[in-house]
Each structure stands twice: as structure tokens, then as C-alpha cells.
């Protein structure tokens, strides 16, 4: 099959734009088409449709660990050659770029005057990949997830039509927000071509405060106390080598100098030992906070008020299963990421831990489990509606997989 | 066989059905008064369960359904152009949950925007979207239109604040997405639904994000001799990286109208524009922002700058802006409130074009706009009894939208497409875009009975052909 796919691809793409996807995180190897223009992408899509291939759209593949492998993929359609900033209007605070543009390139082009949200860990991930994965970053508490930054998208639908949703202005309610449907759809509905994002003014000052805590639970409680007192950090992160041991609460404060000074004073009024990092030290500490882990990871979210109960459940369940997760908490988002170092993805205890947390009301996401990634379980009516949307926009199932 | 009205009364009680012609008149349009059409019936369920029963019945009967909040929409979105039944959320007014710790509220769709804001204040929180009609408009209506308001410059429109929804689908099934989720479970149905103008389902419950009320707020009101002066000051505010919560402009005719009304704010006669800027944050931060803003405004030679920090002073400074639409009633009996968006870098140029377009057609234009996000509201004063004036108003509206789209802008920033901008949708979208929208819509409502004739040009979706009159009974 692969040889035939490569042979047919050669009729619509030059040889240098045909490669091979090696397969990773349970996603099987497949031939890879790397079109460099929307027109080339359309030719590949038409060919795939005629041949009844199953397509997996891909950026640079940096987020595949969080995506359940497809049952069948005949061709990977990569956007990495669809690269470049098509419009950056600093006075307007908007940026338009092709889907395969690396995130780091977008940051570099805008950082002198603007903050690009979300603040992602991997500069080599692409704009389209981040959108397809429904990414959010370290600055989510301040600016929200990526789906809130998207002003407009264009994409190729399965029938070959090039479809636009939204636009290039910062406020717009013209027509349906199809881009909200595409964002987070993991490439199951379309192939993204281009996106426009809103930008925020670059902060004049950034300070990272570090506070020691006796445990992750206490670190989370301190963050909540500061939040109730009016603190509005860009990020609050509790990290600990183990659930029971000492932890550290890091607060990222950013904005106008006076606003940051107000917030530093607020924290210092409530805490004795505060390590204050500024300048390059703050930048380094902030970059460390957004570092993506490489281990199998379980992400659990709940309501802020239910976080202490969830942590208590986690401690009990982890001890009973003989697991020693390395927790990173985002207490103000009520989210905890549990890295499980050295654990084989096939270890049943991973799923058992998840079941315990789900039983305590947590919503779960997984990374690094490959084909064993549990399916999300929306209610039956929502699930049926999602299937109808898939059939409406991709009736022949050209894009591999269905609703995430 | 019982009539539809009788069957509906059995579901929602006698007070929940309107069929007397004199009372139906109240539902013949929303705030776009130039298009009217009587519904055959109005039904007012009290909760999700009743709404589901009503929708199941209307599904069996094949009756078109037009959802309606408070009827304050300005694009004709709640006008029953194909007849059928208007489903009003006016009796769904309960706040179901207000959680100050987790900072969200769950409300029935008919809760009035300002009532929710008022409740939040007691908890030191705020519901950010604040449309001009917030004294009357409902949260469900805000969801349908993805409504904005002055403070959306900082906080974003409704879609950024909706965490969950309960939606009754076309056939009466209930889609329960009410739990406040960080990220969608699967496709983002909530994000897709917000702004869908009643064409995908009936939202009966809405879970919204609340934000902390700012510690300190200061309003500065600058009076300029010309509209250009105010627009230039706005460009400088944005370029300087100041992040006000709101940036609003009123033009000269609006100022005149305000000064001749009960909302009179003491604007001087020679003022050609008012710029209203609201700053918020911690005490030291607001003081620094205020000083920077005052220096910036001074560079544009204002006639006067007024400042206010306490609630009473701020209310006084906002009074002219909040009363602007009401005050325009003194200029002419009717007001066509247009809504378009332009890139912020082209604001001044496009504002000048709207003035020219109206002048060329002998129309009186009073402009109020959300300058910070490039959202223009050219308000054309007219008399609906004058057919030629109505024609010129519509022509001007079309021209203004065409020029905004050509400049890289959008057809609507917060009012929605409704009926008003159907023709212009083809200026903005290609046939392929509209076809994709129709297919998406059909996945929610295969018979296209929900709010037919809105949002997507009729020939694109053919929904009117599927509409059946109320009296037709159930399909064989």
C-alpha cells in the first residue's frame, strides 16, 4: 500500500515534498505528503479522496503523545512546508500565519511589541498543530486557551472546498464560529491552512515569586488564599518531586510595572519567605515552568473548591497502587498533571489511578499511552451530535478518526 | 384533534401561551422595527423540561420555531419571518447557582444581564459582557448573539465567558453541557453554539465565568473639537500599550441628542466628540495609568478632560454614553443601529466614510462606537413612515458594510447577522463557506425549522421551504 501511495503522490507533488512519517506514540508509520502551497495540499487531498485513503493531518508531530492513534492511516498530510507569517499588523494587534509556521517563529516575530498566547512549551510545534490539539499554555489563567485567541481560520474540507471562518479583526460575530469546531478537533474534520490570532501588549515587567510549601496540597491552598485576596497572576504552579514531600509554589506576575509591584506587595504581605526573580532569572524560571514532560502523564481537572478532596483521593489511590506520581499543580485552574516516571504505558495501574480520580469527579486526559489512551466520554446526546457533525463535514471519512 | 395552542397549554399552563392577536403584536419584531411579521403563537416555557416537551411537540407538528430573549436584538434575529411559533425565555428567570469560590454562575436563559451583574457584585465579582441593552437583554439572548458591550474590549465577548450550556435540540432532546469544563470533551459544541442566533437549538441554562471586580476604577472623559482628534487619541492609547477596560466614542450629533435629553451630561456646545476611557486595576497601577493617559490625551488638545473614581462620579461620566441610544429618540422616531467592525488601524478613515455615505443620501448620522476594538455603530435617524427615507437608510447601511468588508473588517461585531445582514453575508463569505455552514447547521437541525430565514442567506439553506404553517397539523 505504502509504495502505491508514494507512487501516486509523485504525480501531484515534487519528490522533495514526499517523505515518510516514522510513527511515534503508537501512531503507525505512513507515507507523508508535505505540500508547500494550499493548491498543492488541495491536489493531495483530491488524490486521497479519489483513492479512498485515510488522511492524518499533522504539523510537526509534537503533540501526538496526547492524541489517540487512528485505526487506519494511509497518508500523513503534513503542513510543515506551509510556512510563513502572511500578515503582522502591530498597531492592530493581530497576526496571520500559515498553519505550518513553527510557534517559536511566531513568538520571535512579535515579542518586541506583543505577547503571543498561549505560552507553549515547544517552539517547534506548529500553529496548525496547536490549533488542532486545542492547546493551552502557561498563561492560560490570564489569557485563556488557544481557542479564545483565534480570530479566524481557513481550512480545506474533505470535499476539497477551501472554507473560511471568522476573520482578521479583534471583534467579529459574522456567521457561525466553525473555527471553534475545528480547534481541538485533532485533524478529524479538516486540514488547516491559515490562522489569525489576537495579540496582547508585551508586558513591561515580569517577576517570578517562589514560595516554599510543606506539600503540594499546602502549596495549592496558599495559591487559593492569594487568589481570594485579589492576586491575578499569569500563572500559579505548584511543583513537587512527590505527593507527600515538600513543594514549591511559583507565581508568574506580569504586566505594567505598577501592577506587578502591587501584586508583589500583596504576596509579601501574606508570606514570609519569598524568593523574587527578575530579569533573565525570571525569564529562565518562567521557561522552566512551561517545560513539557516526556513521561506518561495523566492530567486531571476539577473545580477549584474540589481540588483538596481530589488531592486527598490521589494520595490514597497512589499509595494503594504503589505508584509515586510526580505532581505539577495549576491550583487556580484546578488542574493537576501527574507524571509517572518509568512506568510502562501498558501498566494497568495507570488506568486504575485514572478511574479512582474520575470517581472523585475529575475529568481526565492522558499523554503518552498510545493506543491505550482511554476515549473521552461525553454524554450520549453530545456524542451523537458530534458524530453527525463529522458525517456532515466529512461524509466519506477522509480524515482519519472521529470526535476526540 | 386539539389545536396546537391547546396542546401547548397542556404543557406549559395557560399563562405560557399567547394567541390573542393584540398580544401577538408585541412579538412581531425585535428592536429592528423596520421588519415586522406576526407569529402564529407564542409559547413561554418555564424550564428545560417544559422547553423539551414544547420542542418535541413542535417537531412532531413540523412547526418553525423562533427563539426569543427580551427582543432587544438589533438585527431582526427574533422576528418570525416565516410565521410559526415564537419560543420566549421570558419566564426562565432563575439564578440556579452562584459559586463565588469557583467563580461561576449557572442561570436560566431568561435571566436579565444586569440582574446577574447585580448579584455578582455582592460577591465581589462581575459578569463582564455588558451590552448597551443590559437593563433588558437576557443571558440566553447574549449567548445567541455572542454579545459584547464596552467592557468586552478588555474581557472579550460572551463566548469567552460561557463555560457550559443546556440546549434543547430541534426534536426536544436535551444536550446537557452545563458542567463548567476547562476544555471540551470532544468537539467544542459550546463554542460553536454561542453566536448561532437561535438556529441550532434553544439554550435554556447557561453557565458563565465570573471575574473579580477591580479594586480601583477610574473614568476619564475627554472632549475634543473634532472626531478625528478623538480617533487619533484612541490610536495612541492602543499603540502605547495602555489596556483600558473600555474605550468609547460619541460624535457630535450624539452629543447634541444627549444634551437635549434627560441624559444631559453638560457637554460643551463646541465639542465634536467625546472619548470615554475606563481604567482599572490596583491603586498604584490605576494612578500610573491615569497619569499616562492624561498626558497622552493632552497631546491631542482636548477642550476638557473630566475624571472620576468613586461610583457616583463614574456613573455621571458614563451617563451620556449609556443614555445615547435613548436620547436619539429626540432626533427622529426611528433609529437604524448599524454594526460593523474595521481594523483598528483604519478606524478614522472608515468613520469618515460612514459620515460621507450618509451625507450623500441626506441622512442624519449619529455615531457611537467601541473604538478600542474597531466596532462602529453608525446610527442613522429616520422615520419608518417615509418609504424613500427607509430605502436610503438601507442603501447606506449596505454601502457602509461593503466598505468595512473591503477594508478587511467584518459585517457585525456584536449584533449578529439576523435578517438585517443576510444579503451582505455574500460579500463576506464565499459560496463554499456558506455551504459548509449549512451542512454544519443541518447536523443540528436537519429540517432547518429553528429560526428559519436568519443568519445564512435563504437560497443557501432552503430552510423556508421546509417551514410548515402552524395549522397544517402533523405530517402524514
From CA A232, how far away is CA A28, in angstroms rounded? 44
CB contact under 8 A, B195 and A177: yes
Tell me the mean pLDDT in the region A186-200: 97
From CA B234, how far away is CA B224, in angstroms rounded? 12
From CA A175, how far away is CA B341, in angstroms rounded? 14
**What grid cell was written down for B465?**
421551504
From CA B172, how far away is CA B11, in angstroms rounded? 13
From CA A93, how far away is CA A114, in angstroms rounded? 8
CATH code that applies to domain A298-372: 3.30.70
Longest CA–CA separation in chain A, Å: 69
CB contact under 8 A, A385 and B443: yes
Q: Which residues pair with A76 in a beta bridge?
A: A32, A56
Quickly state the pLDDT bin for A203 (edges 50, 70, 90).
very high
Polymer length in residues for chain A: 404
Check whether A342 has a pLDDT greater than 80: no
pLDDT at B474: 46
What confidence tens digit (pLDDT) does each residue in B113-172 have?
999 999 999 899 999 999 989 999 999 999 999 999 999 999 999 999 999 999 999 999
Q: Do A2-78 and A85-201 show the same overall fold?
A: no
- The model's pTM is 0.95
Q: What share of chain B is helix, strand, coil (3-state, %, to 5)?
A: 40, 20, 40
Fold of A85-201: 3.30.465
Residue written as grid cell 479512582 = A356
CB contact under 8 A, A171 and B341: yes
Residue written as grid cell 421551504 = B465
What residues in B contact A178, CB-CB < 8 Å? 192, 436-437, 440
pLDDT at B395: 95
**What grid cell was written down for A103?**
510557534
Four-residue CA torsion sign, B280, B286, B288, B290: positive
What confidence tens digit (pLDDT) does each residue in B37-76 have?
999 999 999 999 999 999 999 999 999 999 999 999 999 9
Burial class for A372, CB neighbours closer than 10 Å (0-12, 13-18, 19+): middle
* HSE-CB of A12 using CA atoms within 13 angstroms: 22
Find which of A63, A171, A220 to mutate to test the B interface (most B CBs within 10 Å of its CB): A171
Check whether A292 has a pLDDT greater than 80: no
pLDDT at A350: 82
Q: What is the DSSP string of B228-249?
A: HHHHHHHHHHHHTT---SEEEE
> Which one of B181, B344, B411 has the shortest CB-CB distance to A363?
B181
Burial class for A50, CB neighbours closer than 10 Å (0-12, 13-18, 19+): exposed
**Bridge pairing between strands A114-115 and B85-88:** unpaired
From CA A312, how far away is CA B385, in angstroms rounded? 70
Burial class for B6, CB neighbours closer than 10 Å (0-12, 13-18, 19+): exposed
Query: From A304, which residue of chain B is nearest by alpha-carbon distance?
Result: B102
| Neighbour count for residue A370 (Cβ, 10 Å) | 18
CB contact under 8 A, B375 and A171: yes
Answer for the pair A175, B425: CB distance below 8 angstroms, yes or no: yes
What confidence tens digit (pLDDT) does each residue in A152-166 have?
999 999 999 999 999
Candidate from A175-184, A289-298, B8-17, B242-251 with smallest mean pLDDT: A289-298
Tell me the mean pLDDT in the region B214-224: 96
| Neighbour count for residue A72 (Cβ, 10 Å) | 12
Answer for the pair B341, B275: CB distance below 8 angstroms, yes or no: no
What confidence tens digit (pLDDT) does each residue in B385-407 have?
999 999 999 999 999 999 999 99
ipTM: 0.96
Find which of B166, B178, B183 to mutate to test the A interface (most A CBs within 10 Å of its CB): B183
Residue, of B375 and B459, whose pLDDT is higher: B375
Answer for the pair A91, B344: CB distance below 8 angstroms, yes or no: yes
Quickly state the pLDDT bin for B463 (edges 50, 70, 90).
very low
The alpha-carbon radius of gyration of chain A (Å, integer) is: 22
Tell me the mean pLDDT in the region B213-220: 95
* HSE-CB of B232 using CA atoms within 13 angstroms: 14
What residues in A contact B162, CB-CB < 8 Å? none
From CA A399, how far away is CA B375, in angstroms rounded? 37
pLDDT at A369: 81
> Which one of B182, B413, B444 has the shortest CB-CB distance to A171?
B413
Residue written as grid cell 493617559 = B293
Answer for the pair A2, A30: CB distance below 8 angstroms, yes or no: yes
What confidence tens digit (pLDDT) does each residue in A104-147 have?
999 999 999 999 999 999 999 999 999 999 999 999 999 999 99
Tell me the mean pLDDT in the region B231-254: 90
Could you tell me the CA-to-CA distances from A15 to A11, A32, A42, A50, B222 in Å, in that order?
A: 9, 11, 17, 21, 63
Query: From A144, which residue of chain B is nearest by alpha-carbon distance?
Result: B160
- Does residue A61 come out as left (phi exceeding 0), alpha (psi in the -120 to 50 range) or beta? left
CATH code that applies to domain A2-78: 3.30.43.10
What confidence tens digit (pLDDT) does each residue in B295-342 have?
999 999 999 999 999 999 999 999 999 888 888 888 888 889 899 999
Q: Select the CATH number that applies to the domain covering A205-291 from these four: 3.30.70.260, 3.40.50.2000, 3.40.50.300, 3.90.400.10.
A: 3.30.70.260
Question: Which residue, among B49, B46, B40, has the nearest Cα to B18 in the 3D structure?
Answer: B40
From CA B367, how far away is CA B275, in angstroms rounded? 12
pLDDT at B13: 98
What residues in A contact B164, CB-CB < 8 Å? none
Q: How close, in Å, is residue B342 to chain A by CA atoms? A: 7
Domain ranges of chain A: 2-78, 85-201, 205-291, 298-372
Q: How close, in Å, is residue B378 to chain A by CA atoms? A: 16
Non-local (6+) Cβ contacts of B11 within 8 A are: B45, B50, B53, B54, B57
Burial class for B307, CB neighbours closer than 10 Å (0-12, 13-18, 19+): middle
pLDDT at B328: 85
From CA B67, how far away is CA A290, in angstroms rounded? 44
CB contact under 8 A, B440 and A204: no
Check whether A232 has a pLDDT greater than 60: yes
Residue, of A276 and B327, whose pLDDT is higher: A276
Check whether A1 has a pLDDT greater than 60: no
What residues in A contact B283, CB-CB < 8 Å? 262
Check whether B349 has a pLDDT greater than 70: yes
CB contact under 8 A, B373 and A258: no
What residues in A contact B243, CB-CB < 8 Å? 201, 256
CB contact under 8 A, B188 and A147: yes
Residue written as grid cell 457585525 = B412
**What grid cell was written down for A304?**
477549584
The overall average pLDDT reported for chain A is 94
What residues in A contact B428, CB-CB < 8 Å? 167, 174-175
Question: Which residue, among B242, B235, B269, has the nearest Cα to B255 in the 3D structure?
Answer: B269
Could you tell me the CA-to-CA distances from B433 to A57, A253, B426, B461 in Å, in that order?
A: 21, 42, 10, 12
Instruction: Map chain A to HEC letters.
Output: CHHHHHHHHCCCCCHHHEEEECCECCECCEEEECCCCHHHHHHHHHHHHHCCCCEEEECCCCCHHHCCCCCCCCEEEECCCCCCEEEEECCCCEEEEECCCEHHHHHHHHCCCEECCCCCCCCCCEHHHHHHHCCCCCCHHHHCCHHHCEEEEEEECCCCCEEEEECCCCCCCCCCCHHHHHCCCCCCCCEEEEEEEECEECCCEEEEEEEEECCHHHHHHHHHHHHHCCCCCCEEEEECCCCCCCEEEEEEEEECHHHHHHHHHHHHHHCCCEEEEEHHHHHHHHHHHCCCCCCCEEEEECCHHHHHHHHHHHHHHHHHHCCCCEEEEECCCCEEEEECCCCCCCCHHHHHHHHHHHHCCCEEEEECCHHHCCCCCCCHHHHHHHHHHHHHHCCCCCECCCCC
What residues in A contact B189, CB-CB < 8 Å? 382, 385-386
Quickly state the pLDDT bin for B476 (edges 50, 70, 90).
very low
**What grid cell was written down for B45?**
416555557
**Bridge pairing between strands A200-201 and A114-115:** antiparallel
Quickly state the pLDDT bin for A346 (edges 50, 70, 90).
confident
From CA A146, how far away is CA A137, in angstroms rounded? 8
Four-residue CA torsion sign, A196, A197, A198, A201: negative
Q: What is the DSSP string of B113-175?
A: HHHHHHHHHTTTEE-----TTTTT-BHHHHHHHT---TTHHHH--GGGTEEEEEEE-TTS-EE
CB contact under 8 A, B182 and A334: yes
Peptide bond into B388 cis (omega under 30): no
Q: End-to-end distance of chain A based on CA atoms, in angstroms?
A: 27
Q: How close, in Å, is residue B387 to chain A by CA atoms? A: 28
Amino acid at each position: 500500500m505504502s509504495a502505491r501511495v508514494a507512487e501516486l503522490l509523485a504525480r501531484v507533488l515534487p519528490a522533495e515534498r514526499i517523505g515518510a512519517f516514522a510513527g511515534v506514540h503508537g501512531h503507525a508509520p505512513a507515507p507523508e505528503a508535505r505540500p508547500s502551497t494550499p493548491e498543492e495540499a488541495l491536489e493531495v487531498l483530491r488524490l486521497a479522496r479519489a483513492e479512498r485513503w485515510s488522511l492524518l493531518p499533522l504539523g510537526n508531530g509534537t503533540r501526538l503523545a496526547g492524541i489517540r492513534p487512528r485505526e487506519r492511516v494511509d497518508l500523513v498530510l503534513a503542513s510543515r512546508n506551509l510556512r510563513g507569517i502572511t500578515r503582522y499588523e502591530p498597531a492592530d494587534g493581530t497576526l496571520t500565519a500559515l498553519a505550518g509556521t513553527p510557534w517559536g517563529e511566531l513568538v520571535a516575530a512579535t515579542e518586541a511589541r506583543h505577547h503571543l498566547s498561549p505560552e507553549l512549551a515547544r517552539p517547534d510545534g506548529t500553529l496548525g498543530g496547536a490549533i488542532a490539539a486545542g492547546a493551552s499554555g502557561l498563561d492560560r489563567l490570564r489569557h485563556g486557551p488557544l481557542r479564545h485567541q483565534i480570530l479566524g481560520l481557513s481550512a480545506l474540507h474533505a470535499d476539497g472546498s477551501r472554507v473560511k471562518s471568522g476573520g482578521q479583526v479583534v471583534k467579529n460575530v459574522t456567521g457561525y464560529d466553525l473555527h471553534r469546531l475545528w480547534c481541538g478537533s485533532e485533524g478529524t474534520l479538516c486540514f488547516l491552512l491559515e490562522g489569525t490570532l489576537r495579540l496582547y501588549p508585551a508586558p513591561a515587567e515580569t517577576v517570578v515569586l517562589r514560595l516554599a510549601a510543606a506539600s503540594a496540597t499546602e502549596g495549592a491552598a496558599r495559591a487559593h488564599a492569594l487568589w481570594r485576596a485579589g492576586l491575578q497572576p499569569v500563572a500559579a504552579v505548584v511543583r513537587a518531586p512527590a505527593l507527600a514531600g515538600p513543594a514549591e509554589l511559583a507565581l508568574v506576575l506580569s504586566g505594567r510595572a505598577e501592577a506587578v509591584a502591587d501584586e508583589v506587595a500583596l504576596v509579601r504581605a501574606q508570606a514570609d519567605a519569598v524568593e523574587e526573580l527578575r530579569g533573565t532569572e525570571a525569564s529562565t524560571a518562567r521557561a522552566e515552568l512551561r517545560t513539557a514532560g516526556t513521561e506518561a502523564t495523566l492530567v486531571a481537572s476539577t473545580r477549584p473548591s474540589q481540588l483538596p478532596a481530589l488531592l486527598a483521593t490521589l494520595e490514597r489511590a497512589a499509595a494503594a497502587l504503589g505508584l509515586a506520581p510526580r505532581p505539577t499543580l495549576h491550583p487556580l485552574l484546578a488542574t493537576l498533571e501527574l507524571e509517572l516516571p518509568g512506568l510502562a504505558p501498558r501498566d494497568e495501574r495507570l488506568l486504575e489511578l485514572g478511574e479512582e480520580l474520575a470517581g472523585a469527579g475529575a475529568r481526565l486526559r492522558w499523554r503518552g499511552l498510545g493506543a491505550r489512551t482511554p476515549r473521552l466520554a461525553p454524554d450520549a446526546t453530545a456524542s451523537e451530535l458530534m458524530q453527525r457533525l463529522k458525517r456532515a463535514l466529512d461524509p466519506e471519512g477522509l480524515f482519519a478518526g472521529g470526535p476526540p | 384533534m386539539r389545536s396546537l395552542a391547546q396542546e401547548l397549554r397542556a404543557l406549559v399552563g395557560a399563562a405560557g401561551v399567547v394567541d390573542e392577536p393584540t398580544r401577538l403584536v408585541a412579538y412581531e419584531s425585535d428592536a429592528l422595527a423596520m421588519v415586522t411579521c406576526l407569529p402564529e403563537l407564542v409559547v413561554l416555557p418555564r424550564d428545560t423540561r417544559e422547553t423539551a416537551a414544547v420542542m418535541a411537540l413542535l417537531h412532531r407538528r413540523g412547526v418553525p420555531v423562533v427563539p426569543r430573549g427580551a427582543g432587544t436584538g438589533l438585527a431582526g434575529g427574533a422576528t418570525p419571518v416565516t410565521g410559526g411559533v415564537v419560543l420566549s425565555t421570558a419566564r426562565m428567570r432563575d439564578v440556579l447557582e452562584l459559586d463565588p469560590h469557583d467563580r461561576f454562575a449557572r442561570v436560566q436563559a431568561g435571566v436579565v444581564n444586569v440582574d446577574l451583574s447585580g448579584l455578582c457584585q455582592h460577591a465581589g465579582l462581575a459578569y463582564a459582557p455588558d451590552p448597551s441593552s443590559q437593563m433588558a437583554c437576557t443571558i440566553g439572548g447574549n449567548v445567541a448573539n455572542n454579545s459584547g458591550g464596552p467592557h468586552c474590549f478588555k474581557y472579550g465577548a460572551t463566548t469567552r465567558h460561557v463555560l457550559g450550556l443546556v440546549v434543547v435540540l430541534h426534536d426536544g432532546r436535551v444536550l446537557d453541557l452545563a458542567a463548567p469544563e476547562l476544555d471540551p470533551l470532544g468537539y467544542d459544541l459550546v463554542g460553536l453554539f454561542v453566536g448561532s442566533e437561535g438556529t441550532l437549538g434553544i439554550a435554556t441554562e447557561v453557565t458563565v465565568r465570573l471575574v473579580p471586580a477591580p479594586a480601583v476604577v477610574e473614568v476619564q472623559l475627554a472632549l475634543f473639537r473634532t472626531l478625528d482628534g478623538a480617533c487619533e487619541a484612541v490610536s495612541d492609547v492602543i499603540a502605547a500599550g495602555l489596556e483600558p477596560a473600555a474605550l468609547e466614542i460619541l460624535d457630535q450629533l450624539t452629543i447634541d441628542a444627549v444634551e437635549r435629553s434627560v441624559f444631559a451630561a453638560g457637554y460643551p456646545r463646541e465639542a465634536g466628540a467625546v472619548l470615554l476611557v475606563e481604567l482599572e486595576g490596583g491603586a498604584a497601577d490605576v494612578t500610573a495609568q491615569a497619569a499616562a493617559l492624561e498626558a497622552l490625551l493632552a497631546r491631542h488638545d482636548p477642550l476638557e478632560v473630566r475624571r472620576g473614581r468613586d461610583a457616583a462620579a463614574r456613573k455621571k461620566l458614563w451617563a451620556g454614553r449609556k443614555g445615547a441610544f435613548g436620547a436619539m429618540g429626540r432626533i427622529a422616531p426611528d433609529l437604524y443601529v448599524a454594526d460593523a467592525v474595521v481594523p483598528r488601524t483604519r478606524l478614522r478613515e472608515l468613520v469618515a466614510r460612514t459620515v460621507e455615505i450618509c451625507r450623500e443620501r441626506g441622512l442624519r448620522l449619529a455615531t457611537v462606537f467601541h473604538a478600542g476594538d474597531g466596532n462602529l455603530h453608525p446610527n442613522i435617524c429616520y422615520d419608518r413612515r417615509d418609504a424613500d427615507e427607509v430605502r436610503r437608510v438601507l442603501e447606506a447601511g449596505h454601502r457602509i458594510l461593503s466598505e468595512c468588508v473591503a477594508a478587511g473588517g467584518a459585517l457585525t461585531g456584536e449584533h449578529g447577522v439576523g435578517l438585517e445582514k443576510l444579503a451582505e453575508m455574500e460579500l463576506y463569505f464565499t459560496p463554499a463557506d456558506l455551504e459548509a455552514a449549512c451542512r454544519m447547521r443541518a447536523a443540528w437541525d436537519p429540517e432547518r425549522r429553528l429560526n428559519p430565514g436568519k443568519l445564512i442567506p435563504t437560497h443557501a439553506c432552503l430552510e423556508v421551504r421546509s417551514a410548515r404553517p402552524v395549522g397544517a397539523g402533523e405530517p402524514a
